[in-house]
């Protein structure tokens, strides 16, 4: 699991006392002022609990403060908010009951899978409801003839591939947390992974979903058959970060396992020739299944953590994976090896079997956690630049790091320009955490400057809300809000995430009385 060590709040940290200003959107109050209407909001969560008593089993309704606190963060662990209530439904009907109870009481809810997300997308709303889907983990059907599987949202990503393997099939999206993260979370975040350069993202592999809308209605989006009639609502639901509803049953496409897989690892004197190699590979017409790059600092960390035995003295390590029919892969491998050598690669290694392949990947897969060996704390960033400007992006990140007096280890999906700079800091040093966060933010500025994106796969969540307005204009964001308002007119599904200025939709639906809690808290304006 790749969670940032980050700053761990003190034992007294609770919801409503956000660990940093960035958490303000999820909390009931902002700026440290007095918390408004605490009793009323607690009453909201209590009302939902009451409404669900007898509908959900008693053990599926958590109200004990100690147990609630275990749901107070996701992988962005320096932001913590204790929810007012946690429910653990096991069926679509139970999810629907929970959402309906929230809708009737006007209480916001946050859906949660394994909580491995790195952008705070599953951060609870103070005194709101967390709907945890971890008990919905049945694989309902694997159909090799139609190449689909139907699964519940709490199924772990790799479990789908395990169930499909006997038929020579697998589920292609492979986020690095895939052994623990759930398909429901993958759908919410449109997860990618190391192999999405060739095989695409979650959205390219989800065919249909049963969705509980924020109004409590249950609809089918998409279809097991291609080209369902009507608007492609599933296409925008995937990646909407839980703001459009909760998927309770998901039909995924299964991919034929390739006949041949070749994994190649090469040491380079520096990052630039390694990045240039990736561009040359792509220019030669080869689309690798994966092209991963680590700089010297990241390699040093991985070496310290897992002893991966990467080429000693390398200024950068490039890992390339090719898959497909044997003849195709053999030709491409020769070409890639030649391009690596031509760009100054030394110590080329090719995996001869599965265990060697795993060994080559071990350093890369452990990289995030490994930086814990060389730094007390770190901040994982996720940004995208056009592939051809990777060297320039790294130079600029290096210069920013130097100016901030901080070290940055770089691990990235070089094939698609997706950077994961790891900003190293020591939280014990006063101001270091803030400096790291500032640096991480400036790195996003570099990504946007170079024509890229503020997030390639971790999502906006609460972490990057403020930066979304740098990537998109007010009009762009307003039009996105049209969609949210069509799905969730009362703004109850994961409010305070994704959009920098949460706004209401101008339609007071349902039995809610008085002002919306977000409006009261000064976090929303009427739209």
Partner 1 sequence: MPLTDAVRRDLHALPDVAVVPGDPPTVLPTTVQALAAVLGHAGDFTVAVVGARTSVAPGEPWTAADVVIDTGRLDALLSYDPGELVVRAQAGMPLARLQRTLAEHRQRLALDPEHDRGTLGGVVATGAYGPLRLRHGTVRDQLLGVTAVLADGRVARAGGNVVKNVAGYDLGKLYTGSLGTLGVLAELAFRVAPLPPAHRWLAVPCGLPAAVDLARTVDEAALEPAAAQWYGPGEGGGELWLLFEGTPAAVEDILGQARALAAPFATGAPRSHAAHTRPVPPATADTSARLRLAAPLSRLADLVRHTVARCARLPEAVWTEAAVGVGVATLSLPVSLPAGPSSGWEEALKEVRDLAAPYGGSVVVDTGPGAARLPADPWGSPPDAVALMRAVKDRFDPRHRLNRHRFLEGL
Instruction: Specify the DSSP class assigned to residue 443.
Output: H
Return phi, psi of residue 182, to 5°.
-105, 160
Asked whether position 417 contacts partner 1 by CB under 8 A, the answer is yes
Asked whether position 223 contacts partner 1 by CB under 8 A, the answer is yes
Asked whether position 239 contacts partner 1 by CB under 8 A, the answer is yes
Asked whether position 148 contacts partner 1 by CB under 8 A, the answer is yes
Q: Which of 21, 40, 168, 309 binds partner 1 (CB under 8 A)?
A: 168
Q: Which of 192, 288, 363, 441 binds partner 1 (CB under 8 A)?
A: 192
Residues 380/410, Cβ–Cβ less than 8 Å: no
Q: Residue 387 burial (CB < 10 Å; 0-12/13-18/19+)? A: buried
Choose one: 83-91, 222-230, 298-306, 312-320; the region binding partner 1 (CB under 8 A). Answer: 222-230
Place of tokens 């947390």: 177
Asked whether position 140 contacts partner 1 by CB under 8 A, the answer is no
Point out which residues pair with 109 in neighbouring strands: 129, 493
Instruction: Specify the DSSP class assigned to residue 21.
Output: G
Dihedral sign computed on CA atoms, order 412, 500, 503, 490 = positive
Asked whether position 225 contacts partner 1 by CB under 8 A, the answer is yes
Q: Are strands 260-268 and 255-256 parallel, antiparallel or unpaired?
A: unpaired
- C-alpha 134/C-alpha 245 separation (Å) is 16
Nearer to partner 1 by C-beta: 207 or 521?
207
Shortest Cβ 225–partner 1 spacing (Å)? 4
Asked whether position 497 contacts partner 1 by CB under 8 A, the answer is no
Residues 248/320, Cβ–Cβ less than 8 Å: no
Nearer to partner 1 by C-beta: 38 or 392?
392
Residues 74/120, Cβ–Cβ less than 8 Å: yes
Residues 181/113, Cβ–Cβ less than 8 Å: yes
Q: Which of 39, 58, 66, 229 binds partner 1 (CB under 8 A)?
A: 229
Asked whether position 283 contacts partner 1 by CB under 8 A, the answer is yes
Asked whether position 484 contacts partner 1 by CB under 8 A, the answer is yes
The residue among 136, 253, 91, 115 whose CA lies nearest residue 188 is 115
Asked whether position 166 contacts partner 1 by CB under 8 A, the answer is no
Provide the mask over 333-372, with x wherever binding to partner 1 is found by CB under 8 A and - wherever it is not: ----------------------------------------
Choose one: 64-72, 140-148, 157-165, 288-296; the region binding partner 1 (CB under 8 A). Answer: 140-148
Nearer to partner 1 by C-beta: 192 or 267?
192
Asked whether position 254 contacts partner 1 by CB under 8 A, the answer is no
Residues 414/389, Cβ–Cβ less than 8 Å: no
Asked whether position 437 contacts partner 1 by CB under 8 A, the answer is no
Number of residues this chain uses to bind partner 1 (CB under 8 A): 93
Contacting partner 1 within 369-408 (CB under 8 A): 384-388
Shortest Cβ 328–partner 1 spacing (Å)? 4
- C-alpha 53/C-alpha 216 separation (Å) is 17
3-state secondary structure of 338: helix
Asked whether position 420 contacts partner 1 by CB under 8 A, the answer is no
Nearer to partner 1 by C-beta: 33 or 230?
230
In order, the DSSP letters of 217-250 are: -EEEEE-SSSS-SS--HHHHHTTSTTSS-EEEEE
Shortest Cβ 403–partner 1 spacing (Å)? 26
Nearer to partner 1 by C-beta: 3 or 414?
414
Q: Which of 134, 179, 204, 501 binds partner 1 (CB under 8 A)?
A: 204
Asked whether position 453 contacts partner 1 by CB under 8 A, the answer is yes
Residues 398/408, Cβ–Cβ less than 8 Å: yes
Shortest Cβ 67–partner 1 spacing (Å)? 32
Q: Where are the alpha helices (DSSP H) in 286-410?
A: 296-306, 326-342, 354-365, 367-370, 390-404
């Amino acid at each position: 699991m790749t969670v940032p060590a980050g700053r761990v709040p003190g034992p007294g940290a609770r919801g409503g006392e956000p660990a940093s200003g960035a958490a303000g959107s999820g909390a009931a109050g902002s700026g440290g002022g007095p918390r408004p209407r605490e009793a009323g909001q607690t009453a909201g969560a209590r009302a939902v609990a009451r409404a669900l008593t007898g509908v959900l089993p008693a053990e599926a309704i958590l109200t004990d403060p100690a147990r609630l606190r275990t749901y107070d963060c996701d992988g962005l662990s320096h932001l913590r908010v204790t929810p007012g209530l946690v429910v653990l439904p096991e069926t679509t009907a139970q999810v629907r009951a929970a959402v309906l109870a929230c809708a009737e009481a006007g209480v916001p809810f946050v859906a949660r899978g394994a909580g491995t997300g790195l952008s705070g997308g599953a951060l609870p709303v103070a005194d709101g409801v967390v709907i945890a889907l971890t008990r919905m983990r049945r694989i309902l059907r694997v159909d090799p003839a139609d190449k689909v599987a139907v699964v519940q949202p709490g199924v772990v990503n790799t479990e789908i591939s395990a169930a499909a393997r006997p038929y020579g099939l697998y589920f292609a999206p492979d986020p690095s947390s895939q052994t623990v993260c759930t398909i429901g979370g993958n759908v919410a975040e449109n997860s990618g992974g190391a192999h999405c350069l060739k095989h695409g993202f979650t959205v390219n592999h989800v065919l249909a979903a049963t969705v509980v809308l924020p109004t409590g209605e249950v609809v089918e989006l998409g279809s097991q058959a291609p080209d369902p009639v009507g608007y492609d609502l599933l296409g925008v639901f995937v990646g909407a970060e839980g703001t459009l509803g909760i998927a309770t049953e998901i039909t995924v496409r299964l991919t034929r396992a390739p006949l041949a897989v070749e994994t190649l690892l090469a040491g380079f004197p520096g990052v630039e020739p390694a990045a240039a190699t990736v561009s040359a590979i792509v220019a030669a017409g080869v689309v690798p299944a994966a092209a991963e790059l680590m700089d010297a600092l990241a390699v040093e960390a991985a070496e310290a953590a897992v002893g991966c035995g990467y080429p000693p003295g390398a200024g950068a390590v490039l890992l390339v994976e090719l898959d497909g029919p044997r003849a195709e892969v053999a030709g491409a491998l020769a070409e890639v090896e030649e391009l690596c050598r031509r760009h100054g690669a030394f110590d080329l290694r090719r995996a001869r079997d599965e265990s060697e392949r795993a060994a080559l990947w071990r350093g890369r897969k452990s990289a995030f956690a490994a930086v814990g060996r060389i730094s007390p704390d770190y901040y994982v960033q996720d940004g995208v630049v056009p592939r051809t400007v990777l060297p320039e992006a790294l130079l600029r990140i290096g210069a920013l790091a130097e100016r901030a007096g901080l070290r940055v280890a770089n691990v990235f999906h070089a094939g698609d320009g997706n950077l994961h700079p790891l900003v190293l800091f020591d939280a014990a040093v006063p101001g270091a955490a803030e400096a790291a966060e500032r640096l991480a933010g400036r790195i996003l500025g570099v990504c946007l400057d170079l024509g890229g994106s503020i997030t390639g796969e971790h999502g906006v969540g609460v972490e990057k809300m403020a930066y979304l307005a740098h990537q998109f204009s007010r009009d762009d964001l307003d039009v996105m809000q049209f969609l949210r308002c069509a799905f969730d007119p009362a703004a109850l599904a994961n409010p305070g995430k994704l959009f920098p200025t949460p706004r209401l939709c101008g339609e007071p639906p349902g039995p809610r009385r008085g002002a919306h809690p977000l409006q009261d808290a000064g976090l929303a304006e009427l739209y």
